[in-house]
Amino acid sequence: MKIGKYLIAAVALLVSMACSGNKNDAKENKVENTQQQGKTLVVFFSHAGENYAVGNIEVGNTKIVADYITELTGADQFEIVAEKNYDMPYMELIEVAKKEQQDGELPAYKGSIDVSKYETIFIGGPIWWGTYPQVMFTFFRDNDMNGKKIIPFSTHEGSGLGSIVSDVKKAYPNATVTGEFSIYGHEVRSGKAKVEKWLKKVVLD
């Protein structure tokens, strides 16, 4: 009887140790994965509401691409959300955007993020008058990404990359700006495969 009790106790102890080890291993793996994912960041501005070629949308075109990047790479995200309200008809919006650019306005945005802990940073936005929206340049002013690998991307309806590559290089002359990508806004909802193909070239391989 005593031998039986000792045997049961020993088995219980071994099971307990095994379970504890598995939990610790899982915890360590989770931390390791988080650290790996934390090396990459997607910074983006996206405009919902009325958009050219796609009508009135609840989720902006650029956000959809940013979400693809996060899903496929595990990257963190920071969405640049302007304090100014851009919820207006498209034709009115483009006039506002044009005036901001002509005046060199740097609209305020909400929140902040520490970019220093990231090695690779995707920067994305729509093309408004040939480049990123002005609020993105406010973010560039506030955040030093020199020394980083920066991958610019854009959504557009015919402007391609515009001048975003040269503009990012101007903002961060000591960064490595590479792997740029553009996609039509009306393609993004069915364009995950196109985004994945691009990512395989720049970060996944």
Which letter does DSSP use for residue 98 in this model?
A: H
Q: Is the pTM of this model over 0.85?
A: no
Residue 10 within a domain = no
- How many distinct structural domains can be found in the chain? 1
Collapse the DSSP code of 137 into the 3-class scheme (helix H, G, I; strand E, B; otherwise coil) and give the result.
Answer: helix
Domain range holding 133? 37-204
Please write the tens of the pLDDT for every residue from 129-175: 999 999 999 999 999 999 999 999 999 999 999 999 999 999 999 99
Residue 29 within a domain = no
Can you give the pLDDT at residue 203? 85
Residue 26 within a domain = no
Could you tell me the CATH number of the domain that includes residue 153? Answer: 3.40.50.360
Residue 36 pLDDT level (bands cut at 50, 70, 90): very low
Residue 25 within a domain = no
Residue 4 within a domain = no
Q: How far apart are CA 120 and CA 85, in angstroms?
A: 30
Residue 22 within a domain = no
Residue 63 within a domain = yes
Please write the tens of the pLDDT for every residue from 77-103: 999 999 999 999 999 999 999 999 999
Between the alpha carbon of residue 192 and those of residues 67, 68, 127, the distances in Å are 10, 7, 20
Q: How far apart are CA 43 and CA 121, in angstroms?
A: 7
Residue 11 pLDDT level (bands cut at 50, 70, 90): very low
